[in-house]
A = this chain, B = another copy of it.
Amino acid sequence: MLQGSQTWMFNSKPVIIASAAVGGPFEAQGALADDFDVLHTDIWIGEKSFEKAEKALLQEACETAITKAGLTKQQVQFFISGDLMNQIISSSFAARELGMPYLGIFGACSSSMESLALGSLLVDSKAADYVITGASSHNVSAEKQFRYPTEYGAQKPPTAQWTVTGAGAALVSSKGNGPKVVCATIGRIVDKGISDPFNMGAAMAPAAADTILSHFNDLGIDPAYYDLIATGDLGQIGHVIAADLLEKSGLRIPPEIFTDCGTLIYNQDQPVMAGASGCACSATVTYGHFLNRMKKGELKRILVIATGALHSPISYQQKETIPCIAHAVSIEI
């Protein structure tokens, strides 16, 4: 570990021995459809509510990753997961089905990398041999809870983003083959006074920049160390702001290696305004697309900075601004 910094170095280099990405019908039309393990044609995933559908996606992602690793649920010691639902019911109800000891976390859309960071810490500190980490979101359960029932057909501004329907899971192990988790930089809250929940990319960009700066400062390395640096769900607007803020702070990331999961997952002709968001955005793109590219030899070292907007409908109604956070995890093969 790097004493006194906000970055945890995992000296034993925990291995992602398997991962899975599961999506819905809109993701099946997206640019990264080939990188999903399972794509559903039914937005309800055969369930009676969107909340139950989201839980089913998360459970399926975890079970798929466990199966791909050649393990049984009984061999996996801990499940760490978070989601956007009130009281993270997707994670807790999935944990009920999975059965292993469970740590619920909440970092909004940063939950994907918060859970991977903690899972890797558990493995690195020998608190576990096998940990499954996950995150999920569902477009309609999120719209219903945070905004309006979709039946209203409420219009959205071009700064709004589209919540991904899906779930991603990674099985982190002390041994085995696969991409290795090298370190994690835990973010602090950054709130620059934006209160518009239809402009979360702009709200979260300063938090992403803060964590990225801390990461390179803690490690004393250069962005060129990585083949790819990907923010979680800043979208088109937030990603440009983050690049700008970093450049003004003296850190230039070459545009050809700096991307955002929220701008990658859908096709140009899908009506997603400024891009994708939701816990499943960075979770599915990382555990599907990025890890597949690493296994193909196209990428060797990546840094994923998942961003989260930590407001609630109540805090918004009470005129609060949006506290944002970003957690970064570096993965190498």
Tell whether A22 is near chain B: CB-to-CB under 8 Å: no
> Given the known A-B contacts A100-B188, A105-B106, A188-B101, are A311 and B121 also in contact in the complex, defined by CB atoms under 8 Å?
no
Interface residues of A in 103-156 (CB under 8 A from B): 103-108, 114, 118, 121-122, 124-129, 145
One digit per residue, 1 when the CB lies within 8 angstroms of any chain B CB and 0 when it does not, for chain A 243-267 equals 0000000000000000000000000
Q: Tell me the nearest residue of chain B to A185, going by C-beta.
A: B101
Chain B positions within 8 Å of A187 at CB level: 101-102
The reply to whether B101 and A88 contact each other, CB–CB distance below 8 Å, is no
State A37–B1 Cα separation when bound (angstroms): 34
Among A32-54, those with CB < 8 Å from B are 48-49, 51-52
Tell me whether A72 is interfacial, beta carbon within 8 Å: no
The smallest beta-carbon distance between A192 and chain B, in angstroms, is 11
A221 at the interface (CB under 8 A from B): no
A92 touches B51 (CB 8 A): no
Specify which of B114, B126, B188, B310 is in contact with A87 (CB 8 Å cutoff). Answer: B310
Interchain CB contact (< 8 A) of A85 among B78, B84, B95, B312 = B312
Q: Is B314 in contact with A93, judged by CB distance below 8 angstroms? A: no
Interface residue? A77 (CB, 8 A) = yes
| Cβ-defined contact, B125 with A89, below 8 A | no
Scoring A residues 299 to 333 as 1 if CB is less than 8 Å from chain B, else 0, what string do you get?
Answer: 00000000000111111001010010100000000
Contact A127 B8 (CB under 8 A): yes
Q: Which positions 260-297 of chain A face chain B at CB distance < 8 Å?
A: none
| Interface pairs (22), CB distance under 8 Å | A1-B126, A1-B127, A6-B78, A48-B318, A85-B314, A86-B313, A87-B312, A89-B314, A92-B310, A92-B323, A93-B320, A95-B188, A95-B323, A100-B188, A101-B186, A101-B188, A102-B188, A103-B118, A104-B107, A106-B106, A121-B122, A121-B125
In the bound assembly, the distance between CA atoms of A106 and B103 in angstroms comes to: 8
With beta carbons under 8 angstroms apart, the residue of B6, B88, B99, B310 that contacts A188 is B99
Is B106 in contact with A87, judged by CB distance below 8 angstroms?
A: yes
The number of residues on chain A lying at the interface, defined by a beta carbon within 8 Å of a beta carbon of chain B, is 58
Q: Please list the residues of chain A having a beta carbon within 8 angstroms of any beta carbon in chain B.
A: 1, 3-4, 6, 8, 48-49, 51-52, 77-78, 82, 84-89, 92-93, 95-96, 99-108, 114, 118, 121-122, 124-129, 145, 186-189, 191, 310-315, 318, 320, 323, 325
User: What is the minimal beta-carbon distance from A9 to any residue of chain B, in angstroms?
Assistant: 9
Decide if B315 touches A51 in the complex (CB within 8 Å): yes
Beyond known contacts A93-B320, A102-B325, A118-B118: 20 more, CB 8 A cutoff? A4-B129, A51-B315, A51-B318, A87-B311, A92-B310, A92-B325, A93-B310, A95-B188, A99-B188, A101-B186, A102-B187, A103-B114, A103-B118, A104-B114, A106-B106, A121-B122, A121-B125, A124-B125, A125-B127, A145-B314
The residues of B that contact A186 with a CB separation of less than 8 Å are: 78, 101-103
Question: Are B121 and A127 neighbours in the complex by a CB distance under 8 Å?
Answer: yes
Q: Are B189 and A96 in contact (CB under 8 A)?
A: yes
Cβ contacts under 8 Å, A104 to chain B: 82, 105-107, 114, 310, 325
A294 to chain B: closest CB distance in Å?
A: 25
